[in-house]
Amino acid sequence: MRSNLTIVEKTNLIPYFDVAILNEELSDEIIHLLDRQEVILNKDFLLKVMKLTKMSGERMRVLNYTLEKNVFDEDVISAFIETLPFPYKYIAEKGKKPEIPNNEESWRLARVLKARDYISSYSETKKGIRVNTKLK
């Protein structure tokens, strides 16, 4: 999506894309734009972008923004979490207690998942953040 368009103009075009045209390169461009300019997208489109992109830092920030601004059912939240790298993806498994890195985006994710009643609790550990998922 390299052009003379501004970031805002480019992000305004994203909702008109067909999910069938998505590939890794385009998904990386989209996630980069979404990280710079907040846009609400169809959940199926965003899920496909998040599955295809290799930009994990941007993916995490976009997911946090999306979960903060939208209410999804548990299955949709799980599908989004499963797009994240190890150890985050274990948050989607019931009965697990994954430890995620201690950084701003991890805290943001833990807070939003607790607020959405997706996890039981979270706490700081010596090595990171312990996320207590709900039981099966």
pLDDT tens digits, one per residue of 75-123: 999 999 999 999 999 999 999 999 999 999 999 999 999 999 999 999 9
Structure tokens at 33: 């734009």
Q: What is the pLDDT of residues 74-88, one digit of tens each?
A: 999 999 999 999 999
Domain boundaries, the chain: 1-70
100 neighbors 132 (Cβ within 8 angstroms): no
77 neighbors 115 (Cβ within 8 angstroms): no
Helical H runs in 16-129? Answer: 24-36, 43-52, 56-69, 74-81, 104-115
